[in-house]
Amino acid sequence: MQSTVVIVGGGPAGSFAAYELAKRGVDVSVFEEHSQIGVPSHCAGHLSIKSLKNLGLYPLPKGVLENEFSGVNFYSSNGTKFAVCLSKPVTCAVNRELFDKYLAEKAQAAGAKYFFGSHVSSLIVEDDYVKGIHVINRERLKVPVEAKVVIDAEGISARLLRQVGLSPFSRDSLVYAVEAEVENVRNVEENAVEVYMGSNYAPGFYAWLIPRLDGTAKLGLAVKKGSPKDFLERLLRKHPVASNQLRDAKFLRVNFHAIPIGGLIKKAYGNGFLAVGDCASQVKPTTGGGVIFGVSCARIAAEVASQALKIGDVSATSLKLYMKRVQGAFGFDSQIMLRLRNFFNTLSDEQLDNVLRFATKTGFASALRNIEEIDFQGHTLINVFMKPSAYATLVYLAYLYMSANA
């Protein structure tokens, strides 16, 4: 069997790469190890509306879109609240299973072929070139599939990336997450996302509650060390705000998964090979959001691959353009977000509490009111801190940053 381009994994990054290639008339096949797209889902599906629009994915079909948000409430470990109220809805929540299916259907409609229950066990490598994949198919047979380019969209395992000698994210850069679906949530604004910060409940990251309009919500938490399940139980029992909101909550589904938050890997290409999405750590280090970054990089990968196929040069020298474009588009913001994440992780719960109190007192929320861009947070921060209402908070954060790095 052969296909000009083979894609490993039918997650959002894999399917969007397939869509962009098929749209350009490239013969492309996607191999997905599960029997259907989007299952099991492990993601909150909280996405930027502006970025979805830029990708041509908004408005979303009925059912995929669950809610839109124009607010965020940040809480410290002892319940201090900093509320940000935006002038219009800036983010939305999608049903991740249906969102992934929607992207796969778009790719199929454009001409991409999908093979389900097909586990890619290894890459075929000859003369230092990736020349295809080995697939364990539904009949448990190992089948070779030849390809000119393989796009690795396998997600967090990054096994194939290692096979070509590329370095994935380090273990240190992972946070371990639990994602649950709950019903009977109380005292939550329908159009605001709840964020619970502080090492008492989510060391190294944060917890979140993303309400739907029907009284159900997506509840999650990620930690750098320790068991996310234990921390979630502590949040439910002890957090001054969350314990109240979730007092009668009934769990409908719970999943565990890791998130790479160490910033973009340095090299995500080789001879006949490109890596997109989580396996290339295309994830925002501040929030762990990887759908928009992954899908945007998948689009770049598809453009570079189809151009390389056109000129008949799929060598690493030719595909290097992918990394250059990814760095150009996301490198700056990814670096700033990584610094921000590391900085926030240095703050004690008491300091975080002080930051939220200070931000509320000095009216920092008004500097955030007209934000529309939440994916390119480096650029967003520059714009925010130009506003006089942000100066006091900027000085306070700078003081804490310098103290942490002294």
Ligand X SMILES: Cc1cc2nc3c(=O)[nH]c(=O)nc-3n(C[C@H](O)[C@H](O)[C@H](O)COP(=O)(O)OP(=O)(O)OC[C@H]3O[C@@H](n4cnc5c(N)ncnc54)[C@H](O)[C@@H]3O)c2cc1C
Residues within window 263-302 making contact with ligand X, judged by CB under 6 A: 277-278, 283, 288-292, 294
d(Cα 306, Cα 18) in Å, to the nearest integer? 11
Tokens encoding 120: 């890619």
Pick the binder of ligand X from 20, 154, 333, 353 (CB under 6 A): 154
Instruction: Tell the smallest beta-carbon distance from residue 353 to ligand X (Å).
Output: 25
Closer residue to ligand X, CB minimum distance, 46 or 50: 46
Task: Give the alpha-carbon dihedral of 250, 188, 81, 403, to 10 degrees.
Answer: 60
Q: Which stretch binds ligand X (CB under 6 A): 73-81, 154-162, 245-253, 389-397?
A: 154-162
Closer residue to ligand X, CB minimum distance, 18 or 249: 18
Instruction: Tell the smallest beta-carbon distance from residue 260 to ligand X (Å).
Output: 8
Q: Which of 189, 190, 191, 188 is nearest to 70 (CA)?
A: 191
Pick the binder of ligand X from 145, 150, 153, 265 (CB under 6 A): 153
d(Cα 143, Cα 260) in Å, to the nearest integer? 31
Residues within window 201-220 making contact with ligand X, judged by CB under 6 A: 220
Instruction: Tell the smallest beta-carbon distance from residue 15 to ligand X (Å).
Output: 8
What's the one-letter identity of residue 288? G
Instruction: Tell the smallest beta-carbon distance from residue 187 to ligand X (Å).
Output: 22
SS (H, E, C) 249-288: CEEEEEEEEEEECCCCCCCCEECCEEECHHHHCCCCCCCC
Q: Which stretch binds ligand X (CB under 6 A): 10-18, 231-239, 321-329, 356-364?
A: 10-18
Return all residues near 316 (Cβ < 8 A) that are at least 6 apart.
269, 270, 271, 273
Closer residue to ligand X, CB minimum distance, 209 or 291: 291
- Please count the residues of this chain forming the interface with ligand X, following the rule CB under 6 A: 37
84: β partners: 72
d(Cα 168, Cα 121) in Å, to the nearest integer? 18
Tokens encoding 339: 């610094």
Pick the binder of ligand X from 6, 13, 274, 305 (CB under 6 A): 13
Closer residue to ligand X, CB minimum distance, 95 or 318: 95
Closer residue to ligand X, CB minimum distance, 43 or 367: 43
Instruction: Tell the smallest beta-carbon distance from residue 333 to ligand X (Å).
Output: 14
14 binding ligand X? (CB under 6 A): yes
Q: Could you tell me the sign of the dihedral formed by the alpha carbons of 311, 317, 322, 326, in that order? A: negative
Q: Which stretch binds ligand X (CB under 6 A): 17-25, 150-158, 191-199, 325-333?
A: 150-158
Beta strand pairing call for 91-94 and 46-48 = antiparallel
Tokens encoding 396: 């306070």
164 binding ligand X? (CB under 6 A): no
d(Cα 148, Cα 131) in Å, to the nearest integer? 6
Q: What angle do CA 13, 15, 20 make, to 5 degrees?
A: 95
Report how far apart, in Å, the C-alpha atoms of 141 and of each of 120, 135, 233, 299, 367 are: 11, 8, 43, 32, 59
Q: Which stretch binds ligand X (CB under 6 A): 153-161, 236-244, 310-318, 346-354?
A: 153-161
Residues within window 20-79 making contact with ligand X, judged by CB under 6 A: 31-34, 42-47
Residues within window 179-198 making contact with ligand X, judged by CB under 6 A: 179
Closer residue to ligand X, CB minimum distance, 134 or 357: 134
132 binding ligand X? (CB under 6 A): no
Going by the DSSP 8-state scheme, the letter that residue 40 receives in this structure is: S
Pick the binder of ligand X from 23, 81, 113, 119 (CB under 6 A): 119
Q: Which of 371, 7, 76, 16 is nearest to 240 (CA)?
A: 76
C-alpha gyration radius of the chain: 22
CB 322 within 8 A of CB 268: yes
Instruction: Tell the smallest beta-carbon distance from residue 276 to ligand X (Å).
Output: 7
Pick the binder of ligand X from 8, 90, 149, 264 (CB under 6 A): 8
Closer residue to ligand X, CB minimum distance, 291 or 390: 291
Closer residue to ligand X, CB minimum distance, 44 or 145: 44
Q: Which stretch binds ligand X (CB under 6 A): 7-15, 61-69, 102-110, 308-316?
A: 7-15
Footprint of ligand X on this chain (CB under 6 A)?
8-14, 31-34, 42-47, 119-120, 153-155, 157, 177, 179, 220, 257, 259, 277-278, 283, 288-292, 294
